[in-house]
Structure 1
Amino acid sequence: MSLTFTLDPSVTPDLRDGILDLWTDVTNAGGAVGFVAPVTREAIRPELVHHFAAMADGRMRLLAGHDEEGRLAATAFFGFNTHRLKTHWAWLYTVMVHPRHQGKGYGRDLLDAAEQAARTFDGIEAIQLSCRGGLGLERFYASCGYKEVGRIPGAIRVAPDDDRDDVLMWLPLV
């Protein structure tokens, strides 16, 4: 079993609802994707609308992975730099695999599909992402070829007296 990846899928109500469900389920299972559990779909909706607006403006692209049943199982959003000195690399945001698929290698498949997609983007020579420290995510990303290039101590506050590092990871494509 594997996921089927689609770059720039049509944004339908089903896709929108699938992303809301995915983001909610990943967060509530302890995933570090911009929110802290417990979270509801309604709390996530404004951030998803922001992502969709950036997609409409051409500042973001979506990579979606569907399982064998056709359900949304994984996402990654590419963010493109608008600063003229940084247009040669892209950000990878909201990298998620549904908890029901954890441990199947789908995270690695998602990052491989993201790398392959980025290689088709004109002028993109690298991917950068950031991850929340304290969860072992930087080890996972490193195992997928990303290199830690920076760390901002305590930059992410998940709760009072619980600050985590913001870890910057980089994958050269050339």
Structure 2
Amino acid sequence: MPELRFVTDPELTPELIDELVGCWTDVSNAGGSVGFVPPVTAADIRETADAAFARCGDLDHLLVGFDAEGRAACWLILGDAGSWLRAHWRWVLRVMVHPKHQGRGYGSQLMRAAADASRAMGVEALHLTVRGGTGTERFYMGLGYTEVGRIPRAIRVAPGDDRDEIYMVSHLSPLP
């Protein structure tokens, strides 16, 4: 399995932002459930991306996996929980592996790197949501996540195509 170099909060140069938006566009158009439904363009994603990246390095943390050529192969955001009462956990947001890298184990490497980076920040648990009907909950369960809730028909992909939103958690240290 090819190894990636993971960087937490890399400098968000215009070039890196373009790479990340390009990845987001390609993942969306390949059917990935990362906030959009195909077909989309980079322009469709840019406003959402700019808002997400503006929070990174302060409240949220961007984690990027770079391939051997130094290109962004996968990435996610560790999102602030929004309250000091929840400072011990983070949301895992926008998890994506570029389609050309699918099937190489990059998603598992990315999620393990997210757990490691979170532990280094003193985070005790990671929470995420997945779109029902995609099967991604099995991937996360294989990494130690547990389904803790489900909201039926919370996500409307298209008229007549409503999906459950599935809430999952991974405790990074044993519960007391």
Same fold (TM over 0.5): yes
Q: Distance in 2 between matches of 1:153 and 1:44?
A: 26
Structure 1: stretches of 5+ with no match in the other structure: none
Once the two structures are overlaid, the 10-residue window that deviates more, 14-23 or 46-55, is: 46-55
The offset of 1:84, in angstroms, is: 2.8
Alignment-mate amino acid for residue 28 of structure 1? N
For the residue of structure 1 that corresponds to 2:77, the secondary structure is: strand
Deviation at residue 158 of structure 1 after TM alignment: 0.4
Q: What's 1:106 paired with?
A: 106
User: Structure 2 stretches of 5 or more lacking a match?
Assistant: none
Report how far residue 85 of structure 1 moved.
2.0
Q: How many residues align?
A: 172
1:20 is aligned to 21
- Report the counterpart of residue 76 of structure 2 in structure 1: 76
Distance 2:15 2:79 in 1: 23
* Corresponding residue for residue 90 of structure 2: 90
Residue 159 (structure 1) shift: 0.2
Q: Give the CA RMSD over aligned residues.
A: 0.9
Tell me if 1:54 matches 2:55: yes
- Say if 1:59 and 1:81, in contact at 8 Å, map to a contact too: no
Which one is further off, 81-90 or 163-172?
81-90
1:1-174 aligned at under 5 Å gives the runs 1-55=2-56, 58-122=58-122, 124-174=123-173
Paired AA for residue 105 in structure 2: G
Q: How far 1:173 moved relative to its partner?
A: 1.0
Report the 3-state secondary structure (helix = DSSP H, G, I; strand = E; otherwise coil) of the residue aligned with 1:78.
Answer: strand
CA contact (8 A) 1:73 1:101 kept: yes
Q: Report the Cα offset of residue 4 of structure 1.
A: 1.1
Q: How far apart, in 2, do the equivalents of 1:135 and 1:81 lie?
A: 25
2:69 is matched by which residue type in structure 1?
E
Taking structure 1 as the reference length, what is the TM-score of the superposition?
A: 0.96
TM-aligned CA deviation for residue 52 of structure 1: 1.8
Between the aligned partners of 2:56 and 2:69, the Cα distance in structure 1 is: 26
Q: 1:69 aligns to what SS in structure 2?
A: coil
Q: Find the aligned partners of 1:63 and 1:83 in 2 and give their Cα distance.
A: 22
Tell me the distance in 1 between the aligned counterparts of 2:56 and 2:68.
26
Question: After TM superposition, which residue ranges in structure 1, 4 or more long, deviate above 2 angstroms?
Answer: none
The one-letter code matched in structure 2 to 1:5 is: F
Aligned amino acid, residue 36 of structure 2:
F
2:55 is paired with a residue whose SS is: helix
